[in-house]
Structure 1
Amino acid sequence: MNMQDFRLDGKIALITGASYGIGFAIAEGLAAAGATIVFNDIKQELVDKGLAAYEEIGVKAHGYVCDVTDESAVNDLIATVEKEVGVIDILVNNAGIIKRIPMCDMTAAEFRQVIDVDLNAPFIVAKAVIPSMIKKGHGKIINICSMMSELGRETVSAYAAAKGGLKMLTKNIASEYGEFNIQCNGIGPGYIETPQTAPLRVPGNPFNEFIISKTPAARWGTTEDLMGPAVFLASDASNFVNGHILYVDGGILAYIGKQPK
């Protein structure tokens, strides 16, 4: 094995919705391996904050405003990136939303919004980058799935449906475009420490204790835990890995839980 296979020097990576959080951490990991980082967000304010955050850690990133649910806007974004930065070698479909609403209280419009961002958008962006990947002779697509592509839970019917669909979209892209040396895989994060989950992680919070008890690693994951898996799936080291969902969950999906005392 050549350790250079894990390097991303000369590669251009687009990470959607990567101004902060999981997307930002994945971008940081890809940059450390040598990739040029391109990201988008839905508002200029978020793009500006992202650019400042990347500059603070010493990463020169290229940021663009784009609504990834708008096919015309995405096509314009990809054309602009190809002109200003270069052809995208690595796509990470990270942008996503969740609405924690009991199914019978959720409107069809709210359900559709989650599906639009979490499932339709990855389809739109992948479809936009694949033709140039085919011409270039290689490409890596990483879809940020979730344990909710395998499990159900109260209040997340739309999110689970979208992530389950994204898992199957991942497998289908691998099936349809593998012959063109395009690998499409997914990362399924477990419960990760982010600003959004901070209120849930307060010691003594029953949910915090529940997650720790259900995780063999006995802790929440960190965004840094996602960097290595992302670099692997973005690199030549994973050239024969296709249609796989890599769950980075501390072992939750392998574990039935502790026996009651």
Structure 2
Amino acid sequence: MPFCQNGDVRIRYEEIGSGFPLLVTPGSGLNSRVSNWPTAVINAMEEFKHDFRCITMDQRNANGGDSAGPVPVENAWDAFADDQLGLMDHLGIGEFFYMGYCIGGCFASKLLQRAPQRVVAAVFCQTVGHRPEDPDVMVRHSRQNWLADFRARRPEVSAETIEKYLHSLWRVQPDFLYSVPREFIGNCRTPILVLPDDTPSHPLPTSIDVASLAPNAEITVFPWREPPELKARTIDRVRTFLKSHIPMCSAVQRSSASRRFTRHVPAPIRKAAS
């Protein structure tokens, strides 16, 4: 399994396929990791491997993953963005698509803020979002599903550090996507496709707000997971959306490369009759 080392952060990643790069991160909150793909609502690594160069990663300090690094007590969303952009730098990738599930909606918005010239288009799949009627839902989710296993693996990290980390993630900006303000999304011109959900940690209003605020956003029907035919059409819509935004220079380069490396077989030479 390949790794990317950036200072004291070590990121495990995988890639499959070819074409324009697509960075995809699975859900499961702070346990976003490569091994989650087989049970994901859409296994992006399998669905899109024939269309794009699909890249995925274990997020920093996810339980069950192989990525590790310091626990940031401030600007935690920027730390995740540093890891994701650092991986793209490691792979020599400039521009790319991004598709994020669950917590990946927060990752997506921070990447769009940090690197608008690099993220060509983004897909928000079942994004995490703030619930005013249950403001600590993500703090509770993190404590229930991440904290105990993390403390068992990293007992040197103090309780104070962890509380500051959760505060930075879920309480510094207790609204909307947590990682960016509404004003940013309202001025973000990057093409966005939203696949909504409605669970305690994936509020439907957040998906609707993203689609309503972003000038170049689209949104799928909801619900879209059933029946299978509708889910298949939704997957095709993601594929079509991304392909429609491949930069022209990249498309021309790939077409040129295809022509350049196509083997030319000359016609057999016939001897003239004597």
TM superposition score category, shorter chain reference = 0.3 to 0.5
How high is the TM-score relative to the length of structure 1? 0.42
Structure number with the bigger relative contact order (C-alpha 8 A, sep ≥ 6) is 1
